[in-house]
Amino acid sequence: MAKVIREQLIQYLANGQFVSGQWLGEQLGVSRAAISNHIASLIEMGLDIYSVTGKGYKLSEPLTLLDEKEIQQKLNEWGQKNKVEVHNIIDSTNSYLLRRLPNQNHNLQVCLAEYQDAGRGRRGRKWISPFGSHIYMSMYWYLEQGMAAAMGLSVVSALAVSDAIKELYQIDVQLKWPNDIYFGGVKLAGILIDLDGQALEPCHCIIGIGLNINMPQKSAEQVDQPWTDLQAAITKNTSKSDDSVINTIDRNALAATLISKLSLRLQQHQHEGLLTMANEWAKQDFYFNKAVKLITGTREKKGICRGINNQGALLLEVDGQISPVYGGEVSLRADS
């Protein structure tokens, strides 16, 4: 019930106009005190809402919500076969699609959300997911090649994010093995791959992408690593002000483009493997030919990053010998 009320409150407040607490209570069949409590919850979710006695509640700026029909229409026009769902509030887009395995997902099905209250990153980290500020997206992919080919999916996904940002905003990003997209040397987006299946058989894959667009200050304080957002990247790349950049980022167009690019990259991977994409990765590899350290638990291994191979493994040179390093619970850092 609380989730339904909060979703309806967001709809009433989205246009950025004042709405009285009494009117909201009458519409939703709850007390003004209950409305006040729900507003406090929305603020905790990252919405910038303020109140003025005698006027009511107001968002600091109008909110353009993701539009399932608009995104689906764009994809249909481009000849893409994705089925798209948009949720206002969800635990995790990856978890949602995982719960629907094995028979309730269509191949290339997508789940988008405005807010995740249990968003996940790699290595069990929480993915900070303020409401309506970023892109939180997951796509289901049936990987016929099986789990052995799954390592390459982070490469595929990172290139798809790069494709979308390049096409819409003419921005070149950097790629960091195994699952990050950087701009200006700090994190702009991250990828989480969840797998379900047997080692030697085709498997179910959920590809999650979190792309920072306009990070609220309160949410930024919760992030425990250097970050940037698309707004800052566009501002740095052009002469536009922050305010004009916000107005140029159409999240519906961005979501549709990202879905399309990821779908195309997955199909390319299915037919060609990573041969061509490994070469493309090399041009954007943030650590290529740099001194790095691999961290696994409490262990560190130092060497020179020599890119990736055709299976998506990191090529690490140690004492003149180059060896592939496959994924797992491993982090790559600069050896400064």
235 among the known binding-site residues? Answer: no
CB neighbour class for 32 (10 Å; exposed up to 12, middle 13-18, buried from 19): middle
β-pairing verdict for 291-296 and 174-176: unpaired
Secondary-structure breakdown of the chain: helix, strand, coil percentages, each rounded to the nearest 5: 35, 30, 35
Determine which one of 6, 74, 187, 265 is catalytic: 187
121 among the known binding-site residues? Answer: yes
Residue 100 annotated in active site: no
How far separated are the first and last CA of the chain, in Å rounded? 51
Q: Does 178 sit behind a cis peptide bond, omega within 30 degrees of 0 on the bond before it?
A: yes
Structure-block tokens of residue 189: 């987006």
92 among the known binding-site residues? Answer: yes
Structure-block tokens of residue 5: 């009320």
Q: How far apart are CA 181 and CA 186, in angstroms?
A: 8
Residue 187 annotated in active site: yes
Cβ atoms 75, 259 nearer than 8 A: yes
265 among the known binding-site residues? Answer: no
116 among the known binding-site residues? Answer: yes
Q: How far apart are CA 102 and CA 172, in angstroms?
A: 37
296: helix, strand or coil: strand
Q: How far apart are CA 315 and CA 292, in angstroms?
A: 11
Q: Which residue has the tokens 């879905």?
A: 259
Alpha helices, H only, the chain: 2-13, 21-28, 32-44, 68-77, 93-99, 152-169, 217-220, 230-237, 242-248, 251-272, 275-284
Residue 122 annotated in active site: yes
Determine which one of 122, 261, 265, 306 is catalytic: 122
Residue type, 285: D
What does DSSP assign to residue 285? B
Active site (catalytic) residues: 122, 187, 333
Per the annotation, binding residues for biotin are: 92-94, 116, 120-122, 187
